[in-house]
């Protein structure tokens, strides 16, 4: 399997898994999604917003554009859902358009938190793994507030389901 095919599949997984979470959480009340709990982000809605905002940052790295932080305060959960799905789709389309050579291109990052120079493909792995980490937190937050019906969203499950 080529790196391009693998990265495209991984980016498509990111769209799929975010869609699974939106489908799951859309049926829940805004009260539940905004209920404050002890976690790195204090509600499911705030955690989803963080995933979306971070995905936008990494998209700017991958697309080699300037990151413009939006002031996403007071957004409805519906707006957060839509923004996350649009961001994931935009990322997947970008990755699909890249050649093998472009995926190996090293991109230098210098910001107040870290400096590095890694291949673009490593940054895609970072953004999807970051989302996975926080989606796990969402499942845990959900369990703590009585939402126990999360579906299986593992990468391997995605690969099995998409090939059926």
**pLDDT of amino acid 72:** 66
Angle at 153 between CA 14 and CA 155, to 5 degrees: 60
Selection from 5, 1, 26 nearest residue 77 by Cα: 26
Domains, the chain, in order of start with CATH, read: 3-162 (1.20.120.450)
Alpha helices in the chain (DSSP H): 3-26, 30-33, 44-62, 77-97, 100-104, 120-144, 155-162
Q: Which residues of the chain have pLDDT under 70?
A: 72-73
Provide the phi-psi class of 146: left if phi over 0, else alpha when psi is between -120 and 50, else beta. left
**pLDDT of amino acid 74:** 82
**pLDDT of amino acid 158:** 96
**pLDDT of amino acid 133:** 97
pTM above 0.85, yes or no: yes
């Amino acid at each position: 399997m080529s790196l391009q095919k693998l990265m495209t599949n991984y980016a498509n997984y990111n769209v799929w898994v975010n869609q699974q979470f939106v489908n799951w959480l859309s049926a829940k009340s805004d009260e539940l999604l905004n209920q404050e709990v002890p976690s790195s982000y204090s509600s499911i809605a705030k955690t989803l917003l963080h995933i979306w905002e971070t995905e936008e940052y990494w998209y700017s790295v991958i697309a080699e554009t300037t990151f413009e932080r939006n002031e996403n305060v007071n957004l409805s959960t519906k707006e957060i859902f839509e923004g996350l799905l649009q961001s994931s789709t935009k990322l997947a389309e970008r990755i699909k358009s890249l050649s093998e050579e472009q995926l190996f291109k090293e991109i230098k990052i210098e910001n107040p938190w870290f400096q590095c120079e890694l291949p673009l493909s490593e940054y895609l792995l970072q953004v999807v793994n970051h989302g996975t980490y926080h989606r796990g937190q969402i499942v845990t937050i959900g369990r703590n507030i009585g939402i126990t019906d999360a579906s299986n969203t593992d990468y391997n499950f995605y690969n099995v389901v998409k090939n059926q």
